[in-house]
Structure 1
Amino acid sequence: MDDIREHYLAWLRDAHAMEEQALTMMRGMLSRLENYPVLCARIEQHVTETQRQAEALRKLLEGRDSGASVVKDTLGKASALGQALSGMFADDEVVKGAMASYTFEQMEISAYKVLISTASVLEDTTAIPVFEQNLAEEQDMADWLFDHLDQTTRIFLARDEAGLPARR
């Protein structure tokens, strides 16, 4: 069981770092989406959810004598910042950002499924509801992004065709 617990704590630290990375990515995108108010509003909602998720994971880590990985959190934030900054130079940033966000949501969904399975094996019943809530929120965001990808793309294309700044 010690090996399972080690994996569990590592995956929990990874999930916390992932949420911190998501916050950095979303905040970077938000600063450049003023012409996409529906997308902007949904990302703002998910930022609030993600802040709560990161805090809940941090508390779980602290309660299991395993603080958040400062190295992983820092590297994740740096990676997300690089991604957010690189998008500033892409004409089709909003489309690529929506695609990348959808992919990232799928990774988060998978991580929570793994954590739920492992918490069940370890009988960590206090963590399971946290993971289930996070999973539901990530699934909702992924579904929303998928359902609105057509709309986001069409707004981008219309703005580009009209000679308007398409990426903002």
Structure 2
Amino acid sequence: MSVPQNPRDLYIDGLVNARALETQAIQLLSRQVERLENFPEMARRLQQHITESEQQRDRLDEILSNLGTSASGLKDLVTGFMGNMAALAHAPMQDELLKNTFANYAFEHFEIASYKGLLVMAEVAGDNRAPSALRQSLQEEISMAQWAEETLEPTVRRYVMLKAEGAKAI
């Protein structure tokens, strides 16, 4: 039999995990932006989302502070490292751009699910202050996911055309 957990503690764990996820997103996208040469519009949108992710992380810090706690530095370190390793793992591959495009699409949907879950946890835990900040972050993630979906087909087409011409496709 498992030990019962307080909804507030579960909510705080969720917030800490979401903050670590934002740290991972920042690291992952930063490594991608550094390497994009032939996709300047993608680089601009990823850079914009890095800024949004930094703001989301700040919002999560504020929520945690209001709850009398803070983020886990170790969890941030580990997830930031994982984000860097994931980005580096795609770098030597011929189809790095495609792998990053597909991974970003999936990652945005994971973040959407995380924020939706946090909104439920906030309600169950009785936190009436955080939902507006969580909804703002959720909307930013939805917007990024929509962009990822809208640009998926054109990105793949452009990638294939560049490769067919023998051009660098990143």
More displaced 10-residue stretch of structure 1: 23-32 or 2-11: 2-11
Q: Deviations over 1:95-144 (max 9, x none)?
A: 11011011111111111111101111223121000110000100110111
Runs of 5+ unmatched residues, structure 2:
none
Question: d(CA) in 2 for partners of 1:99 and 1:66?
Answer: 35
Counterparts in 2 of 1:32-111, with a 5 A limit? 32-111=35-114
Offset of residue 2 of structure 1: 6.2
Aligned length: 167
**Residue 5 of structure 1, aligned match among 8, 13, 16:** 8
The SS at the match of 1:31 is helix
**TM-score, normalised to structure 1's length?**
0.95
Q: Deviations over 1:7-54 (max 9, x none)?
A: 000000000000000000000000111211121111111111111001
Offset of residue 59 of structure 1: 1.5
Partner of 1:153: 156
The SS at the match of 2:70 is coil
Q: Deviations over 1:127-168 (max 9, x none)?
A: 0001100001001101110110011111111110111111x2
Question: d(CA) in 2 for partners of 1:137 and 1:23?
Answer: 14
Question: d(CA) in 1 for partners of 2:132 and 2:5?
Answer: 23
Question: d(CA) in 1 for partners of 2:107 and 2:61?
Answer: 20
- Runs of 4+ residues deviating >3 angstroms: none
Q: Deviations over 1:55-97 (max 9, x none)?
A: 1111211221221011111110010000111121011111110
Question: d(CA) in 1 for partners of 2:85 and 2:125?
Answer: 37
RMSD: 1.3
Question: d(CA) in 2 for partners of 1:136 and 1:95?
Answer: 25
Partner of 2:33: 30
